Amino acid sequence: MKDESFFYTMQVKELTRRFGNFIAVDRITFDVKEREIFGFLGANGAGKTTTIRMLTGLLQPSSGYGNVAGLDIHTEYEEIKKKIGYMSQKFSLYEDLSVRENLVFFGGIYGLGRKQIAERIEVLGTVLGIEKHLSISTRSLPLGFKQRLALACSILHDPKILFLDEPTGGVDPIARRNFWNLISHLASEGTTIFVTTHYMEEAEYCHRLSIMYGGRIIEMGSPGELKKKYSMNSIEDIFIHLVDKQ
């Protein structure tokens, strides 16, 4: 029998998080394959960020099972942090530093040597289109380029799993599309992407997605599968249909 732990980079079963009497995440179960762009789709307050915080080792689950990169989220969360990249909703860039200085700083946090940092900056500068902005103050960057810099900082150590928590909030549609092109490129190069979003049209970029509502997963599948199942042409229409049934 094939060892599925190699094929799946994440496996979650009955994962739950309570805050007092409030259940933020309610017994969710899913898995994520290698090189997959897996989307967590839902309105604000659906439980997306709480889920991503549990999977990245920032928040302990109340109950249930979770495995990320072969590590238990209950007991091996510090090791998980070393193996993943994480770009939060409000990624903390240092605006008084230049683009290059931010990258060097985060490279040091990840324990990279000077040569490694220089090599990664050269590669990411080209891939993410920020090579001409390395000497510019981060404060003066347009929001779309700050977003690219935040992404560069989160993948500087070349993680195989990248968590993105609503990464396109506040940026214009063109910048959002360009960002998703970058995400698709990373996935094609071997990175597994776990992304949360409340933009329904962004679901089209995902290989598979789960639709969350009230802390629960109410549907899961590829965009094409869901459109066929519900005989609808857009994920937004499917989302509204499912929520109306709750």
Find tokens 């190069």 and name the residue.
189
Query: For residue 92, what pLDDT is reported?
Result: 81
Confidence of residue 144 (pLDDT cuts 50, 70, 90): confident
Pairing of strands 22-33, 8-19: antiparallel
- The pTM is what? 0.91
Q: What is the token pair recorded at 43?
A: 């309105």
Higher pLDDT among residues 135 and 143, named by residue: 135
Phi, psi at 127, each rounded to 5°: -60, -40
Confidence of residue 151 (pLDDT cuts 50, 70, 90): very high
Least confident of 9-13, 102-106, 165-169: 165-169
In the predicted model, what is the mean pLDDT of residues 159-169? 91
Phi, psi at 54, each rounded to 5°: -70, -40
In the predicted model, what is the mean pLDDT of residues 116-123? 95
Residue 54 C-alpha from the chain's centroid? 13
* Cα(88)–Cα(194) distance, integer angstroms: 12
Confidence of residue 5 (pLDDT cuts 50, 70, 90): very low
* Chain mean pLDDT for the chain: 92
* Cα(195)–Cα(182) distance, integer angstroms: 13
Handedness of CA 205, 210, 211, 212 (dihedral sign): negative
In the predicted model, what is the mean pLDDT of residues 61-89? 94
Phi, psi at 65, each rounded to 5°: -120, 145
Query: For residue 134, what pLDDT is reported?
Result: 96
User: Which residues pair with residue 71 across a beta bridge?
Assistant: 68
Confidence of residue 44 (pLDDT cuts 50, 70, 90): confident
Higher pLDDT among residues 227 and 200, named by residue: 227
Handedness of CA 101, 106, 112, 118 (dihedral sign): negative
Q: Tens digit of pLDDT for each residue in 15-31?
A: 999 999 999 999 999 99
Tell me, letter by letter, the H, E, C secondary structure of the chain.
CCCHHHHEEEEEEEEEEEECCEEEEEEEEEEEECCCEEEEECCCCCCHHHHHHHHCCCCCCCEEEEEECCEECCCCHHHHHHHEEEECCCCCCCCCCEHHHHHHHHHHHCCCCHHHHHHHHHHHHHHCCCHHHCCCEHHHCCHHHHHHHHHHHHCCCCCCEEEEECCCCCCCHHHHHHHHHHHHHHHHCCCEEEEEECCHHHHHHCCEEEEEECCEEEEEECHHHHHHHHCCCCHHHHHHHHHHHC
Query: For residue 3, what pLDDT is reported?
Result: 44
| Amino acid type, 229 | K
Query: For residue 1, what pLDDT is reported?
Result: 37
Query: For residue 175, what pLDDT is reported?
Result: 82
Confidence of residue 214 (pLDDT cuts 50, 70, 90): very high
Query: For residue 90, what pLDDT is reported?
Result: 75
Q: What is the token pair recorded at 18?
A: 């309570």
Query: For residue 208, what pLDDT is reported?
Result: 97
Is the per-residue pLDDT at 123 higher than 50?
yes
In the predicted model, what is the mean pLDDT of residues 24-53? 95
Confidence of residue 89 (pLDDT cuts 50, 70, 90): confident
All structural domains of the chain: 35-46+81-245 (3.40.50.300)
* Cα(122)–Cα(131) distance, integer angstroms: 7
